[in-house]
Amino acid sequence: IHPTIDTRTGRLVVISCIDNLVKGAAGQAIQNMNLMLGLPETTGLQALAIYP
């Protein structure tokens, strides 16, 4: 969630997104890559999302 003020209108703008990267094939691909590289299975899957 990223709140910001639009100075032109004086309105609060809140930007949010739902990321389901861990579900389905994308999460499985990351988990498999971790195993192939000898990393813990959950590396990169438990991090909190951040606003760029």
- Please check whether residue 43 lies inside any domain of the structure: yes
- Please check whether residue 34 lies inside any domain of the structure: yes
Q: Which domain holds residue 43?
A: 19-52
Closest to 46 in 3D by CA, of 36, 35, 31, 32: 31
- Please check whether residue 6 lies inside any domain of the structure: no
Task: Work out how many domains the chain is built from and give that number.
Answer: 1
Model confidence pLDDT, tens digit, residues 19-39: 666 677 778 888 999 999 999
User: For residue 23, what are the CA distances in angstroms to 19, 20, 30?
Assistant: 9, 6, 11
- Please check whether residue 25 lies inside any domain of the structure: yes
Statement: residue 1 has pLDDT above 80: no
Residue 52 confidence (pLDDT)? 57
- Please check whether residue 12 lies inside any domain of the structure: no
- Please check whether residue 36 lies inside any domain of the structure: yes
pTM of the model as a whole: 0.50
Higher confidence at residue 15 or residue 10? 10
